[in-house]
Amino acid sequence: MADLRVSFAGVEFKNPVIPASGTYGYGREYEALYPLSRLGGISVKGTTLHERTGNLPPRIAETPMGMLNSVGLQNGGAEKFIKYELPNLVTKDTRIIANIAGSTVEECAELAAMLNGTAVDMIELNISCPNVKQGGAAFGTDCTVAGAVTRAVRDASEKPLMVKLSPNVTSITEIAKSVEASGADALSLINTLLGMRIDIKTRRPVLHNNVGGLSGPAVFPVAVRMVWQVANAVKIPLCGMGGISTAEDAVEMMMAGASTVQVGAAIFRDPYAPVKIIDGLNEWCDKNGVKSVSEIVGTVKPW
Amino acid sequence: MYKQGLYPIIRKTASAKGIFDLTVLCPEAAELAEAGQFAQLLAPGFFLRRPISICQIDKAAGTIRMVFEVRGKGTEELSHLNVGDNIDLIAPLGHGFTKVDGKAVCVGGGIGVPPMLGIASEYGSDAAVITGFRNAAAVILQEDLKAAGCETVLCTDDGSAGIHGFVTTALEQHLQSKKTDIIYACGPTPMLKAVAALAKQYGVRCEVSLEQRMACGVGACLGCACRTQQEGKEVYKHVCKDGPVFNAEEVIFDG
C-alpha cells in the first residue's frame, strides 16, 4: 500500500484524485455506486451568486475521443449550495472544493465571502468558463483582469484559494504568474478548449451556443503540456486536469508537475473512473517502488 | 439506483431495415428497471455512451430488451455486437411512465415505439397502442404488442401497411369514441406536440418520453437540458434524471 496522501495548498487530501467541477454534480448521483469517502475530494458544480438556468439545448456534442459542452453554468446559486448541498457533503468524509464563478470582480468576492465560516475546504475560482457571456473566460484571458479578480477573492476569503485557468490564451504561463502574484494558493488547469461541431445535414452547429468547451482524452496532451509549462513558471502547487481517464494518465500529469488531479469527462464514460484511478495509482506506486505518490510530482526529465 | 457493468447479449435480431433488437442478461439492472426508463450503452470506439430506451423488462429471466435504430456511427457500431458479446451498460436510468388505474393509449412514432411495449404490456387489454411508421418495411413490434394483449392500430405515412395517415388522426378518433385515462407518447417532436395538444383538448393526462444529446446519463453534468414550464416560469430540466418521461403539460416543445 503506497501512501496516496497529499498536502495541497495547506489542505490534506487522502489521495490526489478529485472529480472535476461540472462533471460530478455534488456527488449525489454517484453515491449509489461507491462511497464518496473514497475520493480525495470533490470539486462541486460551478456555483454563481444567483441561480443560473444555463444555455439552450443541445448542450452536448461528441467528438473523436472527447466531447464539447455548453451547459453554461446551470446551478441553483450560492445560497442553495450552502443550505442544501453543503450539509450533505460534509457528512461524506472527503474534501470539499467550492467552484465559484462570478460575472463581475465584486460578485466573485461576494461569493468567496459567503463561503467563509462554512465547511468548504478550498475555493476554486473559475476564471475560465467558455460558456458564459459575462465573467468566465473574459477574466481568464487577460493578465491584469485575472490578477485583479484573484486579488479580490483572496482578500475576501479565509479559505485556501485555487484559481482555474483557461487554455484559450496565447501564454498560459503569463496568466499563471499574474494569478500567483495576486495571492492564489494553487492553480488548477486546464479548463476546456473552445471548440465547435457542425451538423452537415442541417448546416447548424450541434451546440445551440454554437461553440463549447472540448474535454476528454482528446485534450490530454495539451493539458500535460500546459501543466508542465506552468509548473516551470510558478512556485504554487498545481491541480492538473484535462482528459485524464486512467491511473497512468494521472501519473503522467503528476510527473508533469501536478500535485493533485481532477477527473472529468472520463466519468461520463465510466462512472467508476475516479476510484479506478485511485486504485490504479496505488498499484502503480507499489509496482514502481514509490512509497508516497507525492514523490513523483514534477519528476519528468525533459530532454 | 442504477448499475454499470459488462453484460452478455443473449438475443439479437434485425427488426426492420436499420433497426436492431438486443436482449441483454443483466439481472441486477433488470430487477430495478421500470417501463419508460433507459440504458446508456457504450459503443466500441466512441467516447460518450448512447442513451437507448428500455423496450421490455423480464425480471424473472433477468433480461432487458432494447430496440434501437442505427442513426450514426456509434449506433452502427452497437449494431455489430452479436449474441455472446458483452455490452457495457448503465441501467436503469431516469424516470419512467406512471401507471394509473384504467385505460391507456400508447402512441409511438417510428423508433419511439419500443418504449411503448413495456408500459402497454402492464395494461394488456386495457391499452390501445397506436403506432406510426414511414412505410410497411419500417414496421416493428406489432406481434409483441398483440401478444401482450393490447389493441393495436397501425398507421403508415404512405399507406403501405395499416391506416394511411398519422397517429394523431387515429388518436383523435380513439379519444372521441373510447374512455381514456392516460396517454403515453414517444416519437418525433412534432408528433409529441400534436399528441400533447390533443390530450389537453380532450382533458386526458399525458406523459411523453423525450430524447436529447446526453453525456453522463445520471443527472450530474446537466447536459441533456429540455425546456419545461413550472408555474409560468421556464425551467431547464434534464432528460436523463427528471425524464425521459415528462408530464406533457410541462414540456415546451418549440425550440
Residues A62-81: tens digit of each pLDDT: 999 999 999 999 999 999 99
Residue A138 lies in a domain: yes
**Structure confidence by residue, pLDDT tens digits, A44-56:** 999 999 999 999 9
User: Is B32 part of the contact surface with chain A (CB cutoff 8 Å)?
Assistant: no
pLDDT tens digit sequence for A226-271: 999 999 999 999 999 999 999 999 999 999 999 999 999 999 999 9
**pLDDT for position A73:** 94
Taking only the tens place, the pLDDT of each residue in A172-223 is 999 999 999 999 999 999 999 999 999 999 999 999 999 999 999 999 999 9
Instruction: Please tell me the total count of domains within chain A.
Output: 1
Q: Does B143 touch chain A (CB under 8 A)?
A: no
Q: Is A239 among the catalytic positions?
A: no
Smallest Cα–Cα separation from A6: which of A258, A302, A271?
A258
Please state the three-class secondary structure of chain A as a single string: CCECCEEECCEEECCCEEECCCCCCCCHHHCCCCCHHHCCEEECCCECCCCECCCCCCCEEEECCEEEECCCCCECCHHHHHHHHHHHHHHHCCEEEEEECCCCHHHHHHHHHHCCCCCCCEEEEECCCCCCCCCCHHHHCCHHHHHHHHHHHHHHCCCCEEEECCCCCCCHHHHHHHHHHCCCCEEEECCCEEECCEECCCCEECCCCCCEEEECHHHHHHHHHHHHHHHCCCCCCEEECCCCCCHHHHHHHHHHCEEEEEECCHHHHCCCHHHHHHHHHHHHHHHCCCCEHHHHCCCCCCC
* Tens of pLDDT, residues B120-151: 999 999 999 999 999 999 999 999 999 999 99
Q: Which residues of A touch B234 (CB under 8 A)?
A: 53
Mean pLDDT over all residues of chain A?
96
Q: Is residue A63 part of a domain?
A: no
Reported as a single tens digit per residue, the pLDDT across B26-40 is: 999 999 999 999 999
Would you call A69 and B241 a contact, using CB atoms and an 8 Å cutoff?
A: no
Residue A152 falls inside a structural domain: yes
Amino acid identity, residue B76? E
What backbone phi and psi angles, to 5 degrees, belong to A26?
-115, 20
Q: What are the grid coordinates assigned to B45, written together?
A: 470506439
- Whether the predicted pLDDT of B202 surpasses 90: yes
Return the residue in A269, A272, A275, A276 with the most chain B beta carbons within 10 A, the one to mutate for interface testing.
A269
Distances from the Cα of B208 to the Cα of A247, B107, B131, B198, angstroms: 42, 9, 14, 13
By the 10 Å C-beta count (0-12 exposed, 13-18 middle, 19+ buried), B84 is classed as exposed
pLDDT recorded at residue B255: 55
Task: Report the pLDDT value the prediction gives residue B232, as an integer from 0 to 100.
Answer: 86
User: By percentage, how much of chain A surpasses pLDDT 70?
Assistant: 97
Is residue A97 situated within a structural domain? yes
The grid cell for A183 is 495571492
How many CB atoms are located within 10 Å of the residue B236 CB? 22
8 Å CB contact of A60 and B223 = yes
| Residue A210 counted as domain residue | no
Query: What are the structural domains of chain B?
Result: 3-93 (2.40.30.10), 104-250 (3.40.50.80)
B48 touches chain A (CB under 8 A): yes
Q: How far is CA A6 from CA A42, A120, A264, in A?
A: 15, 18, 20
pLDDT at A217: 98
CA distance B207 to B187: 12
CA distance B155 to B246: 25
What pLDDT score was predicted for residue A191? 96
Question: β-strand A11-13 against A238-240: which pairing, if any?
Answer: unpaired
The predicted pLDDT at position B153 comes to: 96
Given a cut of 90, whether residue A138 has pLDDT beyond it is: no
**Beta-bridge partner residues of B12:** B22
pLDDT > 80? residue B14: yes
The 3-state DSSP class for residue B64 equals: strand
Question: What is the C-alpha separation between A3 and A24, in angstroms, rounded?
Answer: 25
Distance CA(A108)–CA(A126), nearest Å, equals 9
Q: Is the CB of residue B107 less than 8 Å from the CB of residue B180?
A: no
CB contact under 8 A, A57 and B214: no
CATH number for A274: 3.20.20.70
- For A243: left if phi > 0, alpha if psi spans -120 to 50, otherwise beta; the answer is left
**pLDDT for the residue numbered B170:** 95
What are the residues facing B185 on neighbouring strands?
B107, B208
> Edge-to-edge strand order for the sheet containing B182-186?
B163-164, B151-156, B127-133, B104-109, B182-186, B205-209, B245-247
Identify which of B122, B254, B104 has the alpha carbon closest to the alpha carbon of residue B185: B104
Tell me the average pLDDT across B41-68: 96
Place of cell 441561480: A51
In a domain, A1, yes or no: no
pLDDT of residue A139: 86
More reliable by pLDDT, A132 or A185 = A185
Q: Which domain holds residue A167?
A: 6-55+73-196+216-296
Residue B163 contacts A, CB cutoff 8 Å: no
**Strand order across the beta sheet in which A258-263 lies:** A17-19, A258-263, A238-240, A186-189, A161-164, A122-126, A95-100, A41-43
Q: Distance between CA atoms of A91 and A85, rounded to whole angstroms? A: 11
Give CA separation, A237 vs A165, A184, A188, A294, in Å: 13, 10, 9, 12
Q: Which residues contact B58 (CB under 8 A, 6 or more apart)?
A: B30, B64, B65
Q: Is residue A65 part of a domain?
A: no
Is residue A70 within 8 Å of A55, Cβ to Cβ? yes
Interface check for A47 against chain B (CB to CB < 8 A): the answer is no
Burial of B240 (0-12, 13-18, 19+ CB in 10 A): buried
User: Are A262 and A165 spatial neighbours (Cβ–Cβ below 8 Å)?
Assistant: no
**Chain B residue closest to A23 (CA)?**
B221
Give the pLDDT of residue A257.
Answer: 98
Q: For residue A71, which residues of chain B lie inside 8 Å, CB to CB?
A: 221-223, 225
pLDDT bin (cut points 50, 70, 90) of residue B231 is confident
Considering only CB atoms, which chain A residues are within 8 Å of B235? 53
Q: Is B253 on the interface with A (CB under 8 A)?
A: no
Q: What is the mean pLDDT of residues B176-197?
A: 96
- Is residue A248 assigned to a domain? yes
Please give the share of chain A, as a percent, with pLDDT higher than 90.
94
